[in-house]
Amino acid sequence: MRIILASNSPRRQELLKGLDIDFIVEVKKGIKENYPENLSIAQVPEYISREKATAYDIAEEELLITADTLVILDGKALGKPKDADDARRMLRALSGKTHQVVTGVTFTTRARQHSFSVSTDVTFKVLRMEEIEYYISHYKPFDKAGAYGIQEWIGYIGVTSLRGSYFNVMGLPVQRIYDELREFGV
């Protein structure tokens, strides 16, 4: 079966490569990431991963993998920061607190579709303003939900505990994907 990863994320591509499976990357532009307001915030990533799949035409013997990751703090979503001020605001909000990172994943073939979510709790120490400033100026986390990458400097110095999948926080719960692919018949 030909596997297609529908993601431009270098982190997702790196993580899927780590499973030693062959895949190609195909990305459609302009996919809206809207969701019904009646969904609980934890259901949003899985919903959006299914919505992303609808933009693709799947051929026989193809499996499409779509994903969406959301950082949730106190029941509210932290998306990708618009600019440095927004990144500062997010990192200050995460400082000294535990938040959830939820990734929704959808497998789609012509015959079937299967979705699942993985949630990880991440706790940050109280971050000093100079640490936040250093991270933003050196790492420019504007393409990352919650304004941080756990695999970067801020994760090294700031994350005090993690309950769940580290790779999920990076954007793709590869251990679960491996098991689900086996169940899916790949």
Could you list the active site residues? Answer: 68
DSSP-assigned letter for residue 113: E
What is the amino acid identity at position 140? K
Q: Which two tokens stand for residue 144?
A: 């990352």
To the nearest 10°, report the CA torsion of 180, 173, 11, 99.
Answer: 160
Q: Which two tokens stand for residue 112?
A: 């079937």
173 vs 66, 69, 168, CA distance in Å?
A: 12, 10, 4
